Amino acid sequence: MPVTSHDIAREAGVSQSTVSRALRGDPRVAPETLARVLDVARQLHYTPNLAARSLITNRTYAVAVLVSHIRNPVYPQLVDTLHDELSLFGYRTVLLNGTRDELVPEIQAGAVDGVVLASATLGASMPAKLLANNTPLVLLNRDMDDLPTDRVTSDNLAGAALAAEALVSLGHKRIGMISGPQDTTTGRDRERGFLDGLARMGREIDPRLRRTSDYTHQGGYQWGMELLRADPRPTAIFCANDVVAFGVLDAAVRMGFRVPGDLSIIGYDDIAMAGWDVFGLSTVHQPLDQMAKSAARMLVERIDQPTLPPRLQVFPANLVRRATTGPAPTA
């Protein structure tokens, strides 16, 4: 027998109308209640009756998720969590890879009820076009100044500053930095946060130890090799994402340097792989799963209540110390 909203109500100890409101994203449901309803729905493997709902509401119950760099493991992780969370609310997920500026026809034709944009490129005009088209929109892991829409991010400035403070506290003086693309908010903010963090500790970075990557392993590897050939070479490198940090780690392995004995490395994101023993990457954790869940819920609410004022949710970031950070070597 299929699980119904009655079953969820009984198990969660709330009324059935509360369950219905929660599952259609009504923002009047208290956050704790929503969390409990969703937990129970997950436990009971609840599947909404879409056909019945579509008849009543005239919605498609499809949501588009737009990403641009699906090979970066951050995105599959966000996409998978979005997919699971949106399923609980009865929405299917359609993923579009690549975010060219024109509106994709599916969206324009109203084949989806809303959009999660999980690509970090600045200046692209698509978000503004979506809003002009009255498409419910949530930006995930990016921020755009002055765009009146819902945004879910984490505190990239403060997170990167934590990395700077940790490295200085460990006694590192020659510190390198491999930034992300400057046309992304994460690239820009993590670079700014790291430099600000150094400045607050009375330090600045040697310009010769700065590089800008495209957020790929190859970029981290190439710049890591180059920085490690510098004389004197850095004893620590901050990388603007985990995949770049893996590239630097590979460069260190290849050149025979011990990590963290000769070189400390800090990444950013804390994707699942960062915790694998073979990496043991010290990194700035942003709560990707929570961020994706929050974006999913915000979009469902936005679809239900298009006139809600725009919201910005910024999750805190924190430093996870694993095996790639240690005291500066005594020269």
> Which residues form the interface with a copy of itself (CB under 8 A)?
60, 62, 70-71, 73, 75-77, 79-80, 83, 87, 92-98, 104-106, 111, 217, 246-247, 249-251, 253-254, 272-273, 276-279
Q: Please, what is the Cα angle at 12 between 10 and 17, to 5 degrees?
A: 70
Contacts 24+ apart (CB under 8 A), 270-277: 270/242, 270/320, 271/73, 271/74, 271/77, 271/242, 271/243, 272/73, 272/77, 273/73, 273/242, 273/246, 274/242, 274/245, 274/320, 274/322, 275/322
Nearer to a copy of itself, 77 or 313 (CB): 77
Minimum CB separation from a copy of itself for residue 89, in Å? 15
| Minimum CB–partner distance for residue 235 and a copy of itself (Å) | 20
Q: How far is the CB of 35 from a copy of itself (least distance, A)?
A: 23
Q: Which is nearer to a copy of itself, 101 or 204 (CB)?
A: 101
Query: Of the candidates 187, 235, 232, 193, which has an alpha carbon nearest to the alpha carbon of residue 211?
Result: 187
Closer Cβ to a copy of itself, 46 or 194, answer by number: 46
Interatomic CA distance for residues 42 and 223, integer angstroms: 44
Nearer CB in complex with a copy of itself: 104/300: 104
Residue 202 has which token pair? 């009375």
Pairing of strands 62-67, 312-315: unpaired
Residue among 182, 183, 167, 185 at smallest CA distance from 260: 167
Least distance from a copy of itself to the Cβ atom of residue 71, Å = 5
| Residue 282 CB, nearest approach to a copy of itself (Å) | 15
Our CB check for a copy of itself shows the closer of 198 and 239 to be 239
